Amino acid sequence: MVAGSPKTSKKTLPDLSYEDRIEGVVFGVDEVGRGPLAGPVMAGAVYLHREHIPEGINDSKKLTARRRHLLSDMLHNQADYATGMANVHEIDRINIRQASLLAMKRAVEALIQKIGREPDCILVDGRDIPDWPWPSLPIIKGDSLSLSIAAASIVAKVERDEIMVKASQEYPGYGWEHNMGYPTKEHREAIQRLKPTKFHRRSFSPIRQFYENVD
């Protein structure tokens, strides 16, 4: 299925090196939001059409918010993609690793339903592969190597950021509109001052410690 791994030592931008070694329909999958203290973990699944690939796709962490939104809009018109999410309650119940895999599985299932066919291979960022029946290839730092995975990181990041900005209006003072729930100094201090919300991950150490100290 996959004829070896392409050399990556001189690569500066993700490309189709992995996709070119696979016949058929290839999905790229990535998740965002493992590290925040608040909000869901989100995954994207993308099926790129080679004749319509937007220029400038890269790991979402290396792009400005404006550039991510622009590329997300372009992918909406020029590719097929779907997202999947695991919410805070699921994260606390099954742990962040399993919740991330669940979000990936939901994204892939949604994309299959959208395009009406299953993938011949799924390129997944990182080491872990969800429990699913499709042939898959885990790629360390895949969002910097594979265009499909990088595109997935973009759509997942944009959608999760939108959720956090909206949540910041319901729960002002935590700075979610710019820290997106990550454990910045501002966010940690706000937790102590304002108390955690239902949007916070109680299984994460700073939130768990808050309630332990209160008790």
Q: Which of 156, 183, 148, 151 is nearest to 32 (CA)?
A: 156
30 is in an annotated binding site: yes
Q: Which of 22, 20, 53, 39 is nearest to 154 (CA)?
A: 53
Cβ(90)–Cβ(102) below 8 Å: yes
Strands 26-32 and 121-125: parallel
Q: Which of 152, 148, 182 is nearest to 164 (CA)?
A: 182
Compute the radius of gyration of the chain from its Cα atoms: 18
Cβ(106)–Cβ(85) below 8 Å: yes
Checking phi first, is residue 3 left (phi over 0); if not, alpha (psi -120 to 50) or beta?
beta
Place of tokens 């099926």: 47
Long-range contacts of 115-118 (CB under 8 A, 24+ apart): 115/47, 115/80, 117/25, 118/25
User: What is the rounded CA–CA span in Å between residue 177 and residue 175?
Assistant: 5
31 is in an annotated binding site: yes
Strands 79-86 and 121-125: unpaired
125 is in an annotated binding site: yes
Binding-site entries for a divalent metal cation: 30-31, 125
Binding-site entries: 30-31, 125
